[in-house]
Amino acid sequence: MDQDKQLEKQFQAYEVQARENKNIDVATLMINAMENQNKKLVSPRLRKWAYVISIGFPPFGVLFVPRFYFGQEDDARHTGNVCLVLTAIALVFLILSTWVTGKIFFSSAGININQLQNINIKELQDLMQ
């Protein structure tokens, strides 16, 4: 019902414009407004949750991509692309933050890469027993 009121206000605005300027084709504007009114779009709630999951839980954001790519909504493909980009950005950030945290942890413990490479697995297993 709210969409009908918006459409009616838009038609009235077109009529006012047509009175001011005779070169405006009101019928074309009204047809265009009606076509845009009937577009089937992804619900804002679903889009919001897809974006939140893509950023907050990066691997699971990819699960939304096929759903949107094969969806019937007019803006589904765009929403799928955004989910894919957000997931990729979040994964890069997650990997970099894990790497930096590990580097800080090992440097504060006084362990370097050479020491880790020189660990003998057999000696480590003997210590564990």
The residue type at 56? G
List the structure tokens of 117.
Answer: 């490479």
DSSP string, 12-59: HHHHHHHHH-TT--HHHHHHHHHHHHT-----HHHHHHHHHHHHHSHH
Reference 99, options 87, 107, 88; nearest CA is 107
Residue 87 to residue 53: CA distance in whole angstroms: 8
Please report the pLDDT score of residue 1 as a whole number: 46
> pLDDT tens digits, residue range 56-85?
998 898 999 999 999 888 788 999 999 999
Which pLDDT tens digit goes with each residue over 93-104? 999 999 999 888
- Asked whether the whole model's pTM tops 0.85, one would answer no
